[in-house]
Amino acid sequence: LPDGLPPGGLSETISTYRTIIKTCLENGVVLGADTRATSGEVVADKMCAKIHYISPNIYCCGAGTAADTEKTTDLLSSNLTIFSMNSGRNPRVVMAVNILQDMLFRYRGQIGASLILVGWDNKGPGLYYVDDNATRLSGRMFSTGCGSSYAYGVIDSGSREDMTVEEAYELGRRGITHATHRDAYSGGVVKLMTI
């Protein structure tokens, strides 16, 4: 936090278990997140970064304990940067997912992170969900965080295979906005991006 320790001192953790949405299109992947982070019942950060750069072709959205998601995505990005420097090419999405799953499994659920990894490589778009118990799912659409059940209602009803980027942006914005109105732990600004 910019102003020092979270309320209650070091024993409090800042949670970013909010609303994150990703959907896979034919020609890309759209991802979005809100920006609210809380510490218990207190809004600790109104502009928490939940979309994390991993490599030029891979990004990750994190929900859970803010420090855990930040450190996990930083370590993943460092590993893939070393790979890119040694090989001279961008990493494949499945490689990033394998490293992430291994990192989280090693700690047997003690890292509070629920991550959606998205990227584009020679196989096309890739969209994966990996959580702190090393659950790994591949799919065309995911939402995570405490507002995800509200967002899923909007996304499921409006999702189509042939969506344009603009339609996917609008659907993601509506899903996250819907969640922020119904979930006290979600809020702030809706951030969207495309790979």
Question: What does the pLDDT read at residue 8?
Answer: 41
pTM of the model: 0.83
CATH hierarchy code of domain 9-194: 3.60.20.10
Instruction: Return d(Cα 136, Cα 142) in angstroms, integer.
Output: 12
Q: What is the DSSP string of 55-105?
A: ETTEEEEEEEBHHHHHHHHHHHHHHHHHHHHHHSSPPPHHHHHHHHHHHHH
Q: What is the largest CA-CA distance in the chain?
A: 49
Q: Are 63 and 21 in contact (CB under 8 A)?
A: no
Bridge partners of 113, per DSSP, are: 64
pLDDT band of 116, cuts 50, 70, 90: very high
pLDDT band of 83, cuts 50, 70, 90: very high
Mean pLDDT of the 64-82 span: 93
Domain boundaries, the chain: 9-194
